[in-house]
Every structure is written in structure tokens, then in C-alpha cells.
Amino acid sequence: MINKLQKKAYINGYSSVGGKEEHRGPLGAALDHYDESDRFGQDTWEKSESEMQRVCLSMLFAKTGKKPGDIDLLFAGDLINQCTSSTYGLIDFDIPYIGIFGACSTAAEGLALAALSCSADYAKNAAVVTSSHFCSAERQFRFPLEYGSQRTPTSQHTATAAGAFLIGSENQSGDPGVYIDEVMFGITNDGGITDANNMGAAMAPAVIDTLTRYFKESGSKPDDFDLILTGDLGYEGYTIVKRFMSDLGSDVQSVLYDCGLMIYNRSLSDMHAGGSGCGCSAFALAASVIPDIKNGKYKDVLFLGTGALLSKASVLQGATIPSVAHLVRLRRG
Amino acid sequence: MINKLQKKAYINGYSSVGGKEEHRGPLGAALDHYDESDRFGQDTWEKSESEMQRVCLSMLFAKTGKKPGDIDLLFAGDLINQCTSSTYGLIDFDIPYIGIFGACSTAAEGLALAALSCSADYAKNAAVVTSSHFCSAERQFRFPLEYGSQRTPTSQHTATAAGAFLIGSENQSGDPGVYIDEVMFGITNDGGITDANNMGAAMAPAVIDTLTRYFKESGSKPDDFDLILTGDLGYEGYTIVKRFMSDLGSDVQSVLYDCGLMIYNRSLSDMHAGGSGCGCSAFALAASVIPDIKNGKYKDVLFLGTGALLSKASVLQGATIPSVAHLVRLRRG
């Protein structure tokens, strides 16, 4: 079901923070802060990720002039067990805290829930924060870095990045704003993939499911949008969704793109199948897509956050990898 | 901030499923299904927990006459890494899926979000499902059962239980309904506790914080309610909150109670400081508290889901344990 918002929800601010590889990628110059060491002054990777979230939300406040007391609801989550990057990173702000988990779709899930809350006047201002960190994710889902394991060609590189967004029911920016007027929550899908190093293929069915439902219910078609942006399908998943879109008769090349293909420079850094992680789409949105909507490059964007809902235990127990794709429509005006 | 709902959100159905110890506890007879082996026919504890959620939501459909296609939004989460109990347990229902994480406060967080969604007409019917399983939780947070570790007196017993709730903007039960008209999201708190075997003490500050904010903003006092019900403070946390309430001049003995103290029979099973887990409060609500509101024993209940937002890694890294308490007001009418 498409949730059409009763009132537009505006993205009144955005910030992003990243690590070394993200900084030397194509969007690096737009980061509000980066740390060349990826450590953010901390002595464990988990604490580094928390600190990255803390800095990112602080940056959002600095850029928007808002204070923590102005925020009614804070939606946050991450990939780390029990979402501790968000809990520890955001505890000092004393904002009512709603923990969410959508794996790498967390940015879209948070934007959707924050937009619904603001449009229904349950929050005047809501914030969304999410992050991922290559080193904490590798240790948790695969191997500690010290092990020096080799990665397969279909594997993606978890972005060391955080993104934060300020949502409100009024356009506070003066300029043409970026607003959300429709969201659609994803249905979990399972395409039968068991390879935790091919999450693009695991997530592609979720994107196809959500897009199919969206086009059917709205009566729209791919070419009605300036951009259909997926969260972190990478080259593997992008190729699958591209074929699906071509079958719909769409000029895919010009409309479909993926955050995981935007954030690294392939000639500088071999990230195999591309970027991934909660921070990947949050960073791409904050550093590139939302500014490009503001400046008029895009007017109407379908953003689909993509999440592979696996755990280390589920992989070790031989389970297939379910996935989900939440849709948020971002428009200029 | 108290979120006063624009329209009442009714709890139009509830179901609970449990294990052996939960069945022989005081609320055991009210379980819709139980498995004496705690295994639910599965070969790993993680799969057992997923299956428990699947059975629980199926029971909700059987009891309410609803079908999966009638449900617009499904809010679910659990304690297991990356919330896989919910993902795998609920994937077959094909309902738009919103993953949430509030540790043991998940039932309250889900009820609150579902109530907001229904009251704002973003869902006609929403479902909330959560679970915990003693064996999967022990393996993940402490030690595998095979290790045979001895537990400390302040430790709590993670309930092997799941609860499911059907929320809608209309009373579909005919009888006096149970409705939600106010929710208040918790602010994460940190009382400095580092002992993962004393989560009651870690969570008590969050309850005190939420109650203090609620009483202040609403102008109410503890004795205005028939019951103030916390999620899983156990004897340790309950004692702390009782003292706080006494200081407010309340007749605490008659108004304050905790789901963790309701679900086990101390003379039959030594559960140390009481029950805990996402399933603890969900089970107590579905098997006892909501029926008791329906039958008139209670008319006005403040339910505070309590969550300790730790992970195994955060404990091993010596971090203190943050906590959160989300408030949901449950009324008869």
C-alpha cells in the first residue's frame, strides 16, 4: 500500500560523515566531516561507528541551527548487533529515541517513519540517523580485519559513513525544498540466495517487488521519474534490476541508479561490486541526491532503501537471505 | 513529549505462545499455544524462536478472523542479532514489514508506532509481533546452554514467549474495547550499570525518566491509574522504581507492577530476579493485562516497555548499559 502523506514532510537538513575511502570517492568533497584513520578518535571499531553518528547528528544541528530540544522524535538504527552504534552514539542528545532495524534499508525506513510522524503532527521536527562502518561490519558479519581474508568479486564494501536528516512538516529552508509525499514499506522477500558475499542478488527481488507494487498502485511507470535510486544493490543487484526495468520498456540507462555505485572511485579503490551498508545510501542522499534535488537537477526521485536481513548465525545455519526495500518519493518544491 | 492520538487506536486482537516454563507459570493457561520442548519442531534455537513468532501471528489471524492481506503494516522485532527471529518468522505472511529494535521494550515501541499509524489513517489494521527465547538469548548474550553456567541472583530469565497484537482505528470486538489514546517515546538513559546480569537496575532509570516526564506534562500522578505496568524490571529494578514512586507519595503497592514478576511461579521455578525479554511483556499483556482491561478489572493502565540496549560486544568492551522505556496508555471503552 502506498502511504500518501496528508501533509508534505520536508527534508530541512542533512549531514554526512565518512572515512578515508569515502572521502577520496566522487562524493567525498561534500562530506561535512571525515576521518582519514576511520577511527574517529576511538579505540574500538564499534566505538568509532558510534562516534561517527554522534558527530553526524552534531553536524546536522550545526548546519540547521536546531538544538536537540527542538527534535521531538529520533529514528535511528544500524547494522551492528542490537543497534549499539546508534544507542551509544546518540545517547547524549536526550531526544525520544525510536530504534529501527532494516539493515541497509534503515535510511529509507527512518525517512518514511519520520515523514509519517511529521505529516500527522506527531512530531514538529524529527531526525533520522544511520551509519555503517567497514571495520565493525567485517568483524561482525565476516572476519576481523586482522585475518586478512580475500573478498569475492560479488562482495560489496560496507561504507564507513553516517548520514543524518532533519524532517519537518514545514519547509524551513526558504529555497525550493525537498519534500516527501509518498512512502511505501517493503515486503520481505527471499530469492533463495545463501551467499553472504552476494547481497546485491539477495536484495534485487525486494526492489522488484516494491517497484512492481508501486507502479501498479500508482499507475506510474519508470520514465515518469527523473531518477529511481536504489540503496546498495551494487553491480550485481543493479544488473538484475536493470533487466527487470528494461522488460517494462523503460529507458533504464537514464533513470535507474544505485547509491552503492556512486560513492567510490573504481580507478582509485577496488571495492568489488560497490558500496553497501546503512551509511551508503544515507551518505549518497545527504552528499549528492538531496542537494541535486534542491538545485533542480532532479525534480522527482523514487528512493528505495535496500536491506539484506541476514545475520552471521543465519548464514552459518545455512539459511537463505531475505531482503526488503522501502520506498520514499523525494520531490522538489 | 506525550503523543496524544488524534483517534483512538484499538487493540482488536492478541495472541501469545510460550515454552515449558511459561506454560507452568501463573499465566500459562492463557497461552494460545505452547511447546513443552521449547523447540517448536526446529533444530536450532534461533529457528525455534522464528517458528514461535510464525505460530503466534497465525494464532492472531485465527482468533480475529483476519487474513494477512487485511494487514497494512507489520511492526516486529526481537533480541537476536539483526532481528532475524522476526524476519524469518514472519516472511511468509507477505505484509509490509517495519523492523524495530527496542530490546525488551519492543512490544511497547511496536504498539506505540502501530497506534500512531492507525490513528493517522496510515493503516486500517496494523499488527505488532515480538518474541524472545531463553535458549537463543543465552547463547547470544551470555553462554550456550551446554556450558552449564551458574546465574547470579540479580540475573533474569529471558522468557520463551511471543506475543502478537492487532491494532485498528475502530473497535472491532463489539464488547468494550481496549484502546490506546496516548503514547510517549522513551529517552535513552544510562545509570552507569556494567553488569549484564543486573538489567533491572540498568533499566530502572529509564522508567523513572519516562514516568517523570509523563506525570509532569500530563499533570497526573501515579494513583490516577489502576495499574502502572513495567515490562521486565524484575525484582531488582522493581525495587528501585517502587522507592521512586513512594517518594512521589503514591500508594505504590497497589498500583505498580512488573510483567517480569507475573509470568513465573517462584515456588515451582527459580527464575532469580524474574522474567525478561521482548516476549515477557508481550506475553503478559496478551495473556493477562489486556483481557483484564476488557473484563473491567482495570480501566486505565500505563504500560512502560523497558529495554536494556546492550550487546555482547558492548559488555565485553566494558561499556555501561543504556536503557529506554516507551509508554503506552491502555484504556477500556
The predicted model gives A108-128 an average pLDDT of 98
The predicted model gives A162-191 an average pLDDT of 95
Percent over 90 (pLDDT), chain A: 93
Which chain B residues are within 8 Å of A44, Cβ to Cβ? 317
**B131-148, pLDDT tens digit by residue?**
999 999 999 999 999 999
The predicted structure's pLDDT at residue A175? 85
Which chain B residues are within 8 Å of A1, Cβ to Cβ? 72, 96
Higher pLDDT, A250 or B98: B98
B187 touches chain A (CB under 8 A): yes
ipTM given for this complex: 0.98
- On average, the pLDDT of chain B sits at 96
Between positions 216 and 245 of B, the ones with CB within 8 A of A are: none
Which chain B residues are within 8 Å of A72, Cβ to Cβ? 1
**A281-308, pLDDT tens digit by residue?**
999 999 999 999 999 999 999 999 999 9
Residue B228 has pLDDT above 90, yes or no: yes
A322 touches chain B (CB under 8 A): yes
The predicted structure's pLDDT at residue B175? 85
- Is there a contact between B111 and B180 (Cβ–Cβ < 8 Å)? yes
| Contact across the interface for A88 and B47, Cβ inside 8 Å | no
A292 touches chain B (CB under 8 A): no
The predicted model gives B275-291 an average pLDDT of 98
Q: What chain A residue is nearest to B95 in terms of C-alpha separation?
A: A187
> Rounded to two decimals, what is the model's pTM?
0.98
Which grid coordinates belong to A254? 537514464
Q: What chain B residue is nearest to A86 in terms of C-alpha separation?
A: B309
| Contact across the interface for B81 and A311, Cβ inside 8 Å | yes
**Preferred mutation among A78, A97, A194, A328 to probe B, highest tally of B CBs within 10 A:** A97
A103 touches chain B (CB under 8 A): yes
Q: What chain A residue is nearest to B110 in terms of C-alpha separation?
A: A98
| Contact across the interface for A117 and B122, Cβ inside 8 Å | no
| Contact across the interface for B313 and A95, Cβ inside 8 Å | no
**A306-326, pLDDT tens digit by residue?**
999 999 999 999 999 999 999
DSSP summary character for residue A186: P
**A145-169, pLDDT tens digit by residue?**
999 999 899 999 999 999 999 999 9
Strand partners, B60: none
**A46-96, pLDDT tens digit by residue?**
999 999 999 999 999 999 999 999 999 999 999 999 999 999 999 999 999
Between β-strands B189-190 and B322-332, what pairing exists: parallel, antiparallel or unpaired?
antiparallel
Between positions 245 and 274 of A, the ones with CB within 8 A of B are: none
The predicted structure's pLDDT at residue A213? 97
Q: Which residue has the cell 509518498?
A: A182
Percent over 70 (pLDDT), chain B: 100
| Contact across the interface for B188 and A90, Cβ inside 8 Å | yes
Q: Which helix (H) or strand (E) element contains residue B164?
A: strand B161-168
| B305/B299 Cα distance (integer angstroms) | 19
Residue A253 has pLDDT above 80, yes or no: no
| A102/A65 Cα distance (integer angstroms) | 29
Q: Where are the alpha helices (DSSP H) in chain A?
A: 20-23, 45-64, 84-90, 106-119, 134-141, 199-218, 234-247, 252-255, 278-284, 290-294, 312-316
Contact pairs from chain A to chain B, CB under 8 Å? 153
Smallest Cβ–Cβ distance between A190 and the set B77, B91, B322 belongs to: B91
Q: What chain A residue is nearest to B86 in terms of C-alpha separation?
A: A309
Residue B164 has pLDDT above 80, yes or no: yes
**B44-58, pLDDT tens digit by residue?**
999 999 999 999 999
Q: What chain B residue is nearest to A106 in terms of C-alpha separation?
A: B99
Nearest by Cα to A325 from A241, A243, A248, A261: A241
Residue B34 has pLDDT above 80, yes or no: yes
> Cβ of A241: how many Cβ atoms within 10 Å?
26
B79 touches chain A (CB under 8 A): yes
Residue A262 has pLDDT above 90, yes or no: yes
| Cα-based distances in Å from B247 to A224, A250, B43, B215, B306 | 62, 67, 50, 14, 21
Residue A251 has pLDDT above 80, yes or no: no
| Contact across the interface for B310 and A84, Cβ inside 8 Å | yes
